[in-house]
Amino acid sequence: MASIINQWAVICIVLSGVALVVGVTFIRRGNRELHMRFMLLASGLATLFLILYLTRLGLGYEKKYTGPEAWRSAYFVLLVTHIFMAALNVPLALGALYWAYRGIKSAGSLSQVDSVPAARAAFDTHRRWTRWTVPVWLYVAVTGWIIYLVLDRFGQLSLR
């Protein structure tokens, strides 16, 4: 069961990363509605990933690196930075979502954002948060995929 949970966790985080990139693309093109939808999808999938990941760990499913010794240091540097940035990403993403929510709440709708000063201020803060959140989130997603692929090839299942 844990291996199936692991596969679904990987699918969720891959789709979350794709939704993040698509959402960023939409806001750069000025489409606030589709940006919001894809960012909520990315956030939901990332949350589902976290739930599945913690469930998998709770079931005792772990893979230990057993690959080439020459790669061990690089793998652990990647793993440690991934874990640190993943922990940092949670409050960053929550902050970005909070300020977007405040902006929409103040404006009443996305189409009114520019005409309501409190909404514009909230979205300006949202934008400042996302300048950090998006690169961190992408780093975590990409390094997570790399770690998964490395452990798929060079990992040994370790059940606690």
CATH number for the domain that contains residue 120: 1.20.120
Q: How confident is the model at residue 34 (pLDDT cuts 50, 70, 90)?
A: very high
Would you state the pLDDT for residue 160?
63
The chain-wide mean pLDDT, for the chain, equals: 94
Instruction: Determine the average pLDDT of the residues in 93-102.
Output: 97
How many separate domains does the chain show?
A: 1
Domain that holds residue 114: 2-159
Q: What is the DSSP letter of 31?
A: -
Tell me the β-bridge partners of 65.
Answer: 155
Instruction: State the pTM of this model.
Output: 0.89
Q: Report the SS3 class of residue 159.
A: strand
Three-state DSSP at 157 gives strand
Taking CA atoms, 6 is separated from 12, 41, 46, 132, 148, in Å, by 10, 20, 14, 28, 10
Q: Determine the distance from the C-alpha atom of residue 139 to the mean position of all C-alpha atoms in its chain, rounded to a whole number.
A: 9
CA distances to 6, 42, 111, 113 from 100, in Å? 31, 14, 13, 10
Question: DSSP labels for 61-117?
Answer: EEEEE-S-HHHHHHHHHHHHHHHHHHHHHHHHHHHHHHHHHHHHHHHSSGGGGGG-H
Tokens of 75: 């793998």
Over residues 140-154, the mean pLDDT reads 92
pLDDT at 157: 78
